[in-house]
Copies of this chain bind each other. A is one copy, B any other.
Amino acid sequence: MDENRPYMVYLPPTYETGENTYPVIYLLDGDIHRFKGFVGVLESLSTGTLESQVQEAIVIAIPNTNRSRDLTPSSLREWKFKGRVLETFKQTGNAKQFAKFLKKELIPAVDTKYRTSQRRVLVGESFGGLFAAYTLIESPSVFTDYLIIDPTSLWDNDYLNLSLNAGNRDKKFNSRVYFAFANNSHLGDIGLTNYKWGSTFASSVIDNNDAISQQQYFENETHGTVAFLAWYNGLKTLIPTTE
């Protein structure tokens, strides 16, 4: 990436005293607050606090340096929807490079430094969800599990479905995937279409998937609030202790 990329690490309660290996969860948009929030969910669910419903895991939180650059899969100066400019950006379209950084640099570094299993979960929300979905299409085997939260399906005029239908129509998936969608109908056409396109993409993935996968719609949560219940339900779906 031609830059320093710091990251934060959470080690599970039994890490220090045991010799087990652990799944690794990569958390996008990994600022300190999101990191502590996510770790709180994981720590509760993986200990006696909530009956050890999910596996203990390592968390690697990756803060942004240039969000729109790293998390978007195509280059757009102006992001438009039905002729209307939603947002303008200095840099976009670097997802391929960021995915390569994860695969070739960060994951090997983490695997060398910590006792990791082969299980890798990618957690992304909004643009992070767009990036996770892009990675699922283009390099699904980099991660074994995908927790995709209200992805920006509106990106580049239905980028995700177009991409899937273009080069990957007959693609068979074999990754565990959990999609969470929020109720953004207060945003009108933008919110409704983002859900429609996202849900269509999710259905295509789920219908062609040999692994456990599902999508869930949260009527009472919006784009900015859905993450928490998505983490809670997503972790229980993807890495239960019962598997």
Contact = CB atoms under 8 A, between A and B. Distances in A.
A218 to B, nearest CB: 12
A49 interface: yes
A127 B49 CA distance: 14
A44 B33 contact: yes
A51 B225 contact: yes
- Number of copies of chain A assembled together: 2
Interface stretch (A35-43, A89-97, A115-123, A136-144): A35-43
A48 B51 CA distance: 29
Given A33-B13, A49-B37, A44 B228 contact: yes
Contacts of A40: 36-41, 43-44
A34 B51 CA distance: 12
Nearest to A222: B51
A45 B225 CA distance: 9
Contacts of A47: 33, 37
